[in-house]
A and B are shown apart, each in its own frame.
Chain A
Amino acid sequence: MTQPRAIDELISSWGDASRVRAFLNGHTFPLVEDSHVTFVWMGPAEAVNVRHWVYGLESSTTLTRAPNTDLWHLTLEIPANSRVEYKFEVHRDGRGEWLEDPLNPNRARDPFGANSVLQSAGYVSPEWTQPDPVTRPGVIERVRVPSKAFGQRAVQVYLPARYRKTRRYPLLVVHDGTDYLNYTGMKTVLDNLIHRLEIPEMVVAFSDSPDRLREYAADEGHAAYLTNDLLPHMTAKFPLIDEPRARCLVGASFGAVASFSTACRHPGVWGRLLLQSGSFAFTDIGRRNRRGPLFDRIVEFVNAYREKPQAVSQRVFVSCGVYESLIYENRSLVPLLDSTGMQVRFVEARDGHNWQNWRDRLREGLSWLFPGPLMFVYE
């Protein structure tokens, strides 16, 4: 394997402003050379660490300062096709500050702000995630949902382009709906995949919870809200295919738990599940998982399912990043799901617990759960 060379060139250029400028203009950062990735920080500091969320690596790794410079660098081996979100922890004047990488324009936004994104060799941001001028756009409207479980709730409803009341559509219900819209660009993804005939036209309810850590943690009230309140309301208001095969629950992290536990509490109602990086914590001994009390009810639910797995849906798509700790829980869940006779597809990605990972798996998941009329429609 070739050793990284680019950083040596930058170090040797130090002190010559024009050479440094030329180097910066001629490279993208972090420096990617085959499987070697070099993080670079330039500026006065007492110490610089790279902070990331890759399970299996030290979460904080210190950069080395090149002698007699303000140039800090760290080279790691990162496999091809990886995405890694990170920040620099820069210590100055006795205090540490987490900063995005000023040399790297790639950002991933999430509800907590933004991270810099390392894209290792081979990773390409999928073109179907970007707006396409030839795609006919759908619309999003706000719908109020009367709920016995929660009083009044509202969802954002996606209607596909050329929506017609005389047609019948499948229904997707997406947990953390606003985040899926904002951080995966799911409206654009739906527009593109529908336009390309890779999935059928569908109605999508983007649902949010004011208390997701409670409601999404295998909560009975939430399952009742989705199944007994939201579903009938949507079925009455929109022309939906009123069959389990045309109903799907989608969620990531706790949202995946909410999806799966709802299907378990109402078996046979939701025929499709898309579970991304599910927080399916369990124990083999004792009742308390290392993840803490927030997970107690999830542990109880997953332990019960592990004790007595049963088919609750028809098709289940499970995805998880190999750089997140939940890969263990998800890998453990898949054989159980398989054993019940449900159709299961499990996809791993060299990515972490983040929205771009979940975005990048949407095409594969949705088109497997809902194959589009690609082979039949020639416009």
Chain B
Amino acid sequence: MSDSTPSSTIVLLGAQRFEPTLAAAVHESGVKEKIALVTAGWQEREDEDDELSRDLAGRTINLNLYKRGELLFREDREFARAHKERQNVLRALQDVYRLRLDHALEAEREVRESKQPEGIREEVEQACIDAIRDLDAWHLYQCAKVRAEFNEQWKPLQRPAIARHRGDLIEALADCGAVAIAGGHVAVLVNRLLLFGLETLIGARTVFAWSAGAMAMSQRVVLFHDDPPQGRGASEVLDAGLGLVPNLVVFPEPERRLKLDDLPHVHLLARRYSPSRCIAFPARSSVVIQNGRVVRSNGVVNLTHPGASLPQ
């Protein structure tokens, strides 16, 4: 199996803990070979994959990306220091972006709920949403710049320790017909996937991903919760994902994270991330994407706004 051709089929699934559908999705896809597991989002619990492995009849090989990352940082101290510094910069960027975003979101809400004449209100509301979109874009640009500078300076994939791990990964993947990427801590997961450049190793294998795993597949990872214990619910852009699923923003676990009956809020999400398609993934839902296009979906909730057409 080639290691350089882009993955052609990606299957995004709803959360798996209570209503697992992965085995059925694998069966339906016709994958007969072993399946490489990525459970790096579970961090220290990465190797607690018995249940997942059992569901897949033991045909699994865990790529241990979290453990590899920890090992790598011990093997290549100089790189580890630089990586930590970069992460600190990214965290600081996230903090200042969030500060600005809070004000922008509040302005949009106040305008939307104001009693101004409709024509004026709609125009100003659009301007508010444009300002939020600009902020999101600015944040993504800053993150990309930091990453590009880091990659230029440190050329991670050429460092011997990372190259050695990538060699191990290529070997492990050789027997696998698919990669299954579980949820967990989305920032850690994206971090580990990018650290080892897994997107360049997946090749034409089918990818199954859910929760944080599905978020990591997209072009931009959007964090969200509508009912947090502190403050007003909001969403924010974390960073770029692997970009294997273009023009799609993934919202897992809508049952407990999204107020889908709050239509103005849903409309805001759709307008904010347009032209990308915003899809919520309740349990048992799925989307099949081939060559970047949604070819089949089941049980998902499209977050749209009035007058919007669903992009493919």
Contact = CB atoms under 8 A, between A and B. Distances in A.
A374 B225 CA distance: 8
Interface in A160-185: 162, 164, 166-167
Given A134-B18, A367-B230, A368-B230, A375 B223 contact: yes
Contacts, number: 55
Contacts of B63: none
Contact of B185 (A134, A162, A376): A376
Interface residues of B, number: 24
Contacts of B17: 379
Nearest to B250: A378
Contacts of B119: none
B100 interface: no
Nearest to B253: A378
| A interface: dominant SS | loop
B15 A375 contact: no
B180 interface: no
A167 B212 contact: no
Interface residues on A, range: 20 to 34
Given A375-B224, A377-B185, A379-B17, A167 B211 contact: no
Interface string B212-242: 1001000000011100111000001000000
A363 interface: yes
Nearest to A367: B229
A375 B225 contact: yes
A209 to B, nearest CB: 30
Given A134-B18, A376-B223, A378-B215, A363 B44 contact: no
Nearest to A197: B225
A135 to B, nearest CB: 12
A351 interface: no
A198 B257 CA distance: 12
A97 interface: no
Interface in B152-187: 183-187
Nearest to B48: A162
A373 interface: yes
B186 A376 contact: yes
Contacts of A166: 44
Contacts of B15: 378-379
7 contacts: A134-B18, A364-B230, A367-B230, A375-B225, A376-B186, A378-B183, A378-B212
